[in-house]
Amino acid sequence: MSLLNSKLHLFCPTQARGVLRLPIDIFFKSVAMDRMEKSIGFILSGLGSDGTLGLIAIKENDGVAIVQNPATAKFDSIPRSALEMVVPDLAARVEDIPNKMLALLKFSPPANGESDVLSKSKNSLDKLSSN
C-alpha cells in the first residue's frame, strides 16, 4: 500500500511469504513524501518494529507522530520500538487518542503557515483594493 499524489495505491507483495516485508514502514514513508507536514502516523499494538522507520520519515517531514502507550498495548513491541526511535507528538492509551489528537491538531499552526483568519483578511483586502 502506498500514497502517491494523494491517492491510495494497492500492490501485490513482491517478496515471498515469510520474508520480512514491513508494509507499514513503506506506507508511512509514502505518506510522509506525499503529504509532508500534513502527514499523521499512528503506531498501535503489535509485534516487531514495522512502522518505526516510517514514523521517523513522517517526523522528518514535520508530520504528526502518535503512539499508543506500550503499557496499554496487548503487544507492546511496536509501540516500544517507535518510542525508542521517535519523540511522538502524542503517546496515550488508545481510548484517549481521538480526543487528544483533535485537541493537538486544533492548537497546531496550519500546515501552510497561514491561518484562515489571515487568509480571509487578505482576500477581503484584495477585494477592497480592486474596487
DSSP for 1-14 reads -EEETTEEE----S
Who's near 129: CB < 8 A, 6+ residues apart? Answer: none
Q: Which of the pair, 123 or 45, is modelled with greater confidence?
A: 45
Contact between 60 and 86 (Cβ < 8 Å): no
| 114 has a pLDDT exceeding 70 | no
| 116 has a pLDDT exceeding 70 | no
Closest CA to 86 of 55, 42, 48: 55
Predicted local confidence at residue 68, as pLDDT: 94
Q: Which of the pair, 125 or 78, is modelled with greater confidence?
A: 78
- Looking up residue 97, the CATH number of its domain turns out to be 3.40.50.180
- 38: containing domain: 2-130
- What domain count does the chain have? 1
Contact between 34 and 3 (Cβ < 8 Å): yes
pTM: 0.75
Q: How confident is the model at residue 122 (pLDDT cuts 50, 70, 90)?
A: very low
The Cα 129–Cα 131 span in angstroms is: 6
Q: Which of the pair, 49 or 20, is modelled with greater confidence?
A: 49
The Cα 4–Cα 94 span in angstroms is: 28
Q: What does the block give as the cell for 60?
A: 522528518
| 69 has a pLDDT exceeding 50 | yes
* Type and span of the H or E element at 27: helix 23-35
Predicted local confidence at residue 9, as pLDDT: 86
The percent of the chain in helix, strand and coil, each rounded to the nearest 5, is: 50, 15, 35
Q: What is the pLDDT of residues 95-104, one digit of tens each?
A: 998 998 888 7
Predicted local confidence at residue 3, as pLDDT: 84
